[in-house]
Amino acid sequence: MPMGTNEVPAVMGCEYEPGHSGTHIYGVQEEMSASTDQEGELVAVYWWAGWGDGSATPYTISVMDPCPESYGYVPALGEEGMCCLPLDHPGPHSPGGAASE
Ligand SMILES: [Zn+2]
Ligand SMILES: [Zn+2]
């Protein structure tokens, strides 16, 4: 799946673990905001689509803070892989996109 797309896939796979409670989410875009952090680096803004919360809309797109934790050591990277789910997500930390590819 290409990263940084502006289009919401026609079929979105939830990125949380199967059987979780609450709203389903799918990370749709990461972009750089105009603001910087304390170290002068541009702050990334993460957009997620959420659905299944019982509302009438198919899904809502919103900005959520990313989870700051790692999901474990990744031999291919030689370092810890950062969790790609929203802050306070249910289930274990994950690189995200588990339901797709
Ligand atoms: Zn889900
Ligand atoms: Zn996490």
The structural domain count of the chain equals: 1
Task: Flag whether 16 is in a domain.
Answer: no
Instruction: Point out the ligand nearest to the CA of residue 95.
Output: 2
**In a domain? residue 95:** no
Q: How far is the CA of 14 from the centre of ligand 2 (A)?
A: 15
Q: Encode the chain (101 residues) as per-residue pLDDT tens digits.
A: 455 555 555 567 899 998 998 899 999 999 998 899 999 999 889 999 999 888 888 889 999 999 999 999 999 999 999 999 999 999 999 987 644 34
Range of the domain at 72: 23-77
| Ligand 1 centroid distance, CA of 33 (Å) | 27
Any domain includes 15: no
| pLDDT at res. 79 | 94
What is the Å distance from ligand 1's center to 7 Cα?
20
Other beta carbons within 10 angstroms of residue 49's beta carbon come to 21
Spell out which residues have Cβ within 5 A of ligand 2, the ion.
67, 69, 83, 85, 93
Sign of the C-alpha dihedral computed for residues 65, 29, 101 and 60 taken in this order = positive
Q: Please check whether residue 57 lies inside any domain of the structure.
A: yes
Distance from Cα 60 to the centre of ligand 1, integer Å: 14
